[in-house]
Amino acid sequence: MIPPIRRLALALAVVGLGAANLALAAAPREQGSVWWQNYRWTKSTLRIMVDLSSSGYTPGIRAANFWSNNTDITFRSTTDHSIADISLFDGNWGDNSWRGLATVWATSTGVITHCHARLNRFYTSAPSGKTKAWRWEGTFSMELGHCLGLDHDATTGSMNGTAMSSGLANAPSSSNVSAINSRY
């Protein structure tokens, strides 16, 4: 893997009984933009490695398939982390304030070179009437959106942590899909 010049992280933080807040470990997004700074891939076909537990596997695959089936992004599966562009992981990382975490490696010009999308299984609560798998699919959808360069937004899709935490969404909104298609 190319040594990263910059490593950045976006996290879905958990407060109280599941309300979501954004924690940024980088500069804020561009004014009026859905993009996290100007981070982007230089290609639209990305190799994805899925290293998930049996309970996290289906939600992770469903989230990846949504992005691949509804945008100009194509995910190709690999079992080799050393050649993967994006790696999906799940695990119990404890009570650390994040349900999902995307860690992005990018060059100084904003080109993404690698990304990890992680789900923290410590937080298993789901909104009323929703399943744990539904919540996890939404978390993976959000973290993959970050891996594609999207920031949190005010839409009713999974890129809006409040909409996802309240049970309104577990998939990207049509505006998230349009943004990805306009970029890639």
What digits encode the pLDDT tens for the residues 172-184?
Answer: 888 899 999 999 9
What pLDDT was estimated at residue 70? 95
What pLDDT was estimated at residue 95? 94
pLDDT interval class at 165 (50, 70, 90) = low
Q: Domain 6-183 maps to which CATH number in 3.40.140.10, 3.40.640.10, 3.40.390.10, 3.40.50.920? A: 3.40.390.10
What pLDDT was estimated at residue 163? 65
Are the beta carbons of 103 and 115 closer than 8 angstroms?
yes
Tokens describing residue 120: 């923290």
This prediction's pTM: 0.82
User: Where do the structural domains in the chain lie, given as residue ranges?
Assistant: 6-183
What average pLDDT does range 25-38 have in this prediction? Answer: 58
What average pLDDT does range 21-39 have in this prediction? Answer: 54
